[in-house]
């Protein structure tokens, strides 16, 4: 699944003219800055230096800031990493600080994202159940084939045994006829059997 996600991400980034490797490197760098930060929530929002502060100040100063759902979800993820639970109160606090990001829009983006995550988890669970069910069916088919093979093998063995039994009967009948009608030929058969034994 992760391989598929990586392929889709790479194609999407290239389609909009971005370098997927650079995007991943930027994301890792930002995440490490956030995780390593010892600032409290208020200090983090009020910071004037650093990469995150530059991003926030760019939003505050740009009255025409173009909000996107991806940006809002990223902000909510940033809040989670800082130990802040994304909810209406925390979104209001962060929206006031960022000026041109509005609480209802943030809340809508985050709610839709969480709903999509739950649906995706449901779909993933359903796919796993379907896969398990299909594997069970395949195993049952193999078991029935194996049972049918064993039945055929047993029937073939019984047929071979019956053929061998009938062959022995025919040999005995042939001996009896030879003994009755051709005693000399019967003596030769006995001598050849005793020599081969």
Q: Is the pTM of this model over 0.85?
A: no
- Give me the mean pLDDT over the 146-155 stretch: 88
pLDDT exceeds 90 at position 17: yes
- Give me the mean pLDDT over the 139-155 stretch: 88
- Residue 148 half-sphere exposure, CB side, CA atoms within 13 Å? 6
pLDDT exceeds 80 at position 189: no
pLDDT exceeds 90 at position 19: yes
Work out the percent of the chain whose per-residue pLDDT is above 70.
99
Q: What is the total residue count of the chain?
A: 197
* Residue 28 and residue 70 in contact, taking contact as beta carbons nearer than 8 Å: no
CA distance 101 to 63: 10
- Give me the mean pLDDT over the 124-131 stretch: 90
């Amino acid at each position: 699944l992760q391989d598929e996600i990586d392929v889709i991400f790479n194609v999407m980034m290239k389609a909009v003219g971005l370098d997927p490797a650079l995007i991943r490197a930027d994301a890792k760098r930002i995440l490490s800055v956030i995780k390593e930060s010892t600032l409290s929530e208020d200090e983090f929002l009020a910071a004037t230096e650093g990469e995150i502060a530059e991003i926030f100040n760019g939003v505050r100063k740009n009255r025409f800031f173009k909000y996107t759902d991806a940006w809002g979800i990223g902000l909510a993820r940033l809040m989670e990493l800082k130990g802040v639970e994304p909810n209406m109160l925390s979104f209001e606090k962060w929206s006031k600080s960022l000026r041109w990001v509005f609480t209802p829009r943030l809340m809508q983006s985050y709610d839709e994202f969480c709903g999509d995550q739950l649906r995706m988890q449901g779909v993933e669970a359903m796919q796993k159940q379907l896969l398990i069910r299909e594997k069970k069916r395949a195993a049952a088919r193999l078991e029935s084939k194996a049972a049918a093979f064993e039945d055929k093998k047993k029937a073939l063995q019984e047929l071979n045994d019956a053929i061998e039994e009938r062959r022995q009967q025919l040999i005995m009948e042939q001996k009896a006829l030879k003994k009755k009608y051709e005693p000399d030929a019967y003596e030769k058969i006995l001598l050849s059997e005793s020599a081969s034994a």
